[in-house]
Chain A
Amino acid sequence: MTTKDIGPKNPVQKSADATIDYVDERSGVKTGTRWFLFRNIPEGTSWYQTLGFTAMVVFGMQAITGIILAMYYVPDTRGGAYESIQRITEEVTWGWLVRGMHKWGASVMIIVVFLHMARVFIWGAYKYPRELTWVTGAFLLLLTMFMGLTGYLLVWDQKAYWATVVAVNIFASAPIVGPYIGDILRAGPEFGPATLSRFYSIHMLVIPGAIATFIGLHLYFIVRLGISEPPWSKRRLRIERDEEDARREAARERAKALPGAVTYPATWPVKAEEGVR
């Protein structure tokens, strides 16, 4: 695309346009963004279909508040972890708010993801061609729950510690692979400093990375396949009504074409059909 000199006179605007064109020529962002934003979605797309986006935004908020918490948190069991949580809550400016948002955000994210899944389930939106969208979503649900599990330990208080001991024991009770999973989670046979570091890195690197990857896949499928139409959209209901009318009409015609059928009420196509037999 060449910039012809008929655009705005303002040199700032002109150079901004030129820059955007330059980048678009090489990357296609402008075209891509336009394609993404102005692609069509079904007419009846409803409020229920905002929950997936909401889950994504809450995840983003968790990432931001989590990064801020990581600036102050010390994953050390020997005087560090617990104290740093205390400091964040009691001393750091707005620390209590950031921690509060992160903690409540976790609960809200679980609820939002569950509601989103319920919406998809109730609508049958997991059916052809969106089966794999569902599968990536199911992994997102599991990963979100693992976030909660691994994050809980980090505050390193009594409740968190013992709940996590029990949770890890549950994983370790699986046949055959259980003991190995237990050792991997605990970073050894015992709960200790290494366990906390391990949970910290799983909580802030491994799972967020996996969630981001799966959200990427999820979105790819959604954009590629298009968002499904509500099963009760006006358009669908109209089609169903038309189909029903056509079916009745056909039955009526058939009934009429046969001798003796006129005596049956035409509004009861089923009866009419039976009657002629």
Chain B
Amino acid sequence: MKPADKKAYDKDYALAKKTGKPFFPYAIFKDTIVAGLTIVGIIVLAIVVKVEVGEPVNAATTDFVPRPEWYFYFAFELLKIFANQDVLTPVIMATFMVPNILIILLVVWPFIDRGPERRIWKRPFAMGMIVLVTGFLCYTTYLGAKTPAGVSSQGLPVSGLDEAGTAGMQVFMDNGCGSCHMVAGVGAPGPGPDLTNFGSKGWDEAKQIAWLKAPNPPMPSYASLPPADLEALATFVNGLGTKYK
């Protein structure tokens, strides 16, 4: 805003205040009603939808579903969007670049949009932005809510399993790998990449085990699995799409 615009605003606002009404009781009245209803709503929700106690933590072997609270679903979906792309170093994009750009934009927004205009219909760009961002957040939250909470332990639709492969598949399912990775259409479509054709990468067992023990974030480490399980898991994953289709 130019100095003249600032002065005009100050003058106009002073006038609005002079011809206004006192904070108490006018604003306090509305505030109290809305806040009161909100608290009542929270109490009703707490009574109707009771909190639960989940399964106790078992850090070693798990059938886990790394699902965050609903208000972080959008971040998980962001991970999924980038997980299956080999460009732009996906993890950095999804977990670092994009969120930080959004956060910086949020904080400095008033220093970007500095025009004096306040009328809604005269600010199409700002309105477009908020519709876009809100739409994106709602849509990704919806996607996150839709993702099945667990992955069935019925087995994966892969054939050609030998003894090692079967054991590996069992480890794969017991440890909830499927809640981040998809294999032949089964499992969650992210945040991890689809592993259906992983075998075509030609990793050897040592490389796979090293990865499982110390993967790139956000994948958790599986260093706590017994060595035999790790070996079976490595064999299974390295054979996906080649030996086991």
Residues of A participating in the B interface, judged by any CB pair closer than 8 Å: 36-43, 45, 47, 49-51, 53-54, 56-58, 61, 77, 82, 85-86, 89-90, 96-97, 99-101, 103-108, 110, 112, 118, 121-131, 134-135, 138-139, 141-142, 145, 148-149, 152, 155-163, 165-167, 169-170, 172-175, 178, 182, 191, 226-229, 231-233, 235, 239
Contact = CB atoms under 8 A, between A and B. Distances in A.
A78 to B, nearest CB: 11
A126 B134 contact: no
Interface stretch (B30-38, B159-167, B225-233, B236-244): B30-38
B62 interface: yes
Contacts of B124: none
B95 A173 contact: yes
13 contacts: A37-B23, A41-B23, A49-B30, A101-B43, A104-B45, A107-B70, A122-B127, A128-B1, A145-B72, A152-B69, A155-B54, A173-B217, A178-B96
Contacts of A231: 118-120
Given A97-B47, A124-B126, A161-B59, A42 B95 contact: no
Contact of B34 (A41, A53, A173): A53
Given A77-B57, A101-B42, A173 B216 contact: yes
A134 B107 CA distance: 8
A145 B72 CA distance: 9
What interface size band does chain B fall in?
Answer: 35 or more
Interface stretch (B108-116, B181-189, B195-203, B204-212): B108-116
Nearest to A144: B71
A231 B216 CA distance: 49
A159 B46 contact: no
Contacts of A86: 53
Contacts of A138: 106-107, 109
B18 A89 contact: no
B39 A57 contact: yes
Interface of B: 1, 5-6, 9-10, 12-13, 15-24, 26-28, 30-31, 33-35, 38-39, 41-43, 45-47, 49-59, 62-72, 75, 79, 91-92, 95-96, 103, 106-111, 113-120, 123, 126-127, 130, 134, 176, 191, 216-220
B34 A50 contact: yes
A129 to B, nearest CB: 8
B131 to A, nearest CB: 10
In order of increasing CB-CB distance, the 7 nearest A-B pairs are A100-B46, A157-B54, A169-B217, A37-B24, A173-B217, A131-B110, A169-B218
A41 B30 contact: no
Nearest to B104: A138
A121 B125 CA distance: 12
Given A121-B126, A127-B113, A162 B65 contact: yes
B55 A158 contact: yes
Nearest to A233: B16
B62 to A, nearest CB: 7
Nearest to B180: A166
A90 B95 CA distance: 38
B72 to A, nearest CB: 7
B56 A156 contact: yes
B233 to A, nearest CB: 17
A100 B51 contact: yes
Contacts of B30: 45, 47, 49-50
B23 A121 contact: no
A173 B34 CA distance: 41
Nearest to A50: B34
A163 B13 CA distance: 48
Contacts of A145: 71-72
A99 B51 contact: yes
Contact of A158 (B10, B47, B64, B103): B64
Contacts of A142: 103
Contacts of A107: 69-71
